[in-house]
Amino acid sequence: MNINGKIIVVTGAGSGIGQALSRILSERGASLVLADMNEDGLNATLTSLKHQDQAVTVVGDITKAATRKAINKAAIDTFSGIDVLVNNAGVVNVGPLSETDDKALKLMLNVNLLAPMQLTRDLLPTLKKSSSPTLVNIGSMFGDIAFPLFAGYSATKFGMRGLSDALRRELAPEGIKVTYIAPRGAKTGATQAFEHLIEPMKMKLDEPEVVAASIAAAIESGARSSYPRGLERLFVFAQRIFPSVVDNSIIAQLKSLKS
């Protein structure tokens, strides 16, 4: 797909990966509908774009029907449609499941998994009118390799991967492509929640711009999925074929953290 001239919706566009992706897409000539509940962040994203006149912002919570309706209306009123929906918005809570309260669990489920389902459903009638309709779901390596202390987050990202596989098959007869992106952790504000785990758990973090570039490349190539280069790909293979090997490795890291 040639991004130039495409109408692209990006959720979670007010910070981190969403902000970096918005900049890249604008540089490549896309018209953008940017959504986030952080108005200041959205304004910062907008002012950083190469083509500010080809972008519109929607401030609101995507777990709310009114916000999802506003996103669809903004796309139609401003650009007459939608070609690509990027479900990027997400939240993370870190810690033992036994110490995680209902509010944190519900927030992750609602933002990371339920809202993408709802937004996709609500925008499908508009998306189907495009000549090159594409759905892009931003998951995580935690959607393949589940980490201790990230149980709730990993569960939502496993769900996002399953959602992507199901919709790829469900929407194929209608010509809608579905791309699943599984980035490593990115150096964003959310990283502060687990800074103390990065070294002992041997996590590798990428700059948001690196992740954003890989997302843009996946959109352009029409990729089924996109994973980072490096040992993580081998771990994904090992997770599916020799899960006990990955179990032992990660459990050893957790034990070293507690010792």
Q: Is residue 227 annotated as a catalytic residue, yes or no?
A: no
111: which 2 tokens?
A: 């933002």
The C-alpha angle 211, 126, 3, rounded to 5 degrees, equals 35
27's CB contacts (< 8 A; 6+ apart) are 50
Instruction: Using alpha carbons, select from 112, 134, 114, 115 the residue that is nearest to residue 124.
Output: 134
Q: Which of 147, 150, 153, 180 is labelled catalytic? A: 153
Q: Are strands 55-59 and 31-36 parallel, antiparallel or unpaired?
A: parallel
Angle between helices 231-241 and 243-258 (to 10 degrees): 120
The C-alpha angle 219, 211, 114, rounded to 5 degrees, equals 75
Rounded Cα distance, 201 and 147, in Å: 9
Q: What positions carry a catalytic annotation?
A: 153
